[in-house]
Amino acid sequence: SQQGEEDPQALSIQEGENATMNCSYKTSINNLQWYRQNSGRGLVHLILIRSNEREKHSGRLRVTLDTSKKSSSLLITASRAADTASYFCATDRNQAGTALIFGKGTTLSVSS
């Protein structure tokens, strides 16, 4: 069953602008991960944030996690055309030995 749900479903911005995507989930988690998928390709891991962390940075990426609201956000700063892709949040199910459950994703389009 679907655990994470991203918002918005689609986002269009200009190069240089920041892009913010949100993810909400339903049950307790151990960690939350964000993945990126270029059109028709496999998914690539971006960043993992653990349930006891509130914020994490990686290059132009900033992820926040609010376990009380069961939500996370991914911020891409100074976006580039190459950031055009779909972005997915993924959660485990707070049980040992479980696979990731993905949301439907946010499709980001960055125009130059």
The footprint of other proteins (CB under 8 A) covers: 2, 30-31, 33, 40-45, 48, 50, 88, 90, 92, 94-105
**Shortest approach of other proteins to residue 84 CB, angstroms?**
18
**Shortest approach of other proteins to residue 22 CB, angstroms?**
16
Beta carbons within 8 Å of 40's beta carbon, 6+ residues apart: none
Closer of 32 and 110 to other proteins (Cβ): 32
Query: Can you read off the two tokens belonging to residue 40?
Result: 């028709």
Closer of 30 and 73 to other proteins (Cβ): 30
Closer of 21 and 90 to other proteins (Cβ): 90
**Shortest approach of other proteins to residue 41 CB, angstroms?**
6
Using only C-alpha atoms, what is the Rg of the chain? 13
Tokens 């069961």 found at? 70
Distance CA 84, CA 75 (A): 14
Distance CA 84, CA 110 (A): 5
Distance CA 42, CA 30 (A): 24
**Shortest approach of other proteins to residue 96 CB, angstroms?**
7
Closer of 10 and 82 to other proteins (Cβ): 10
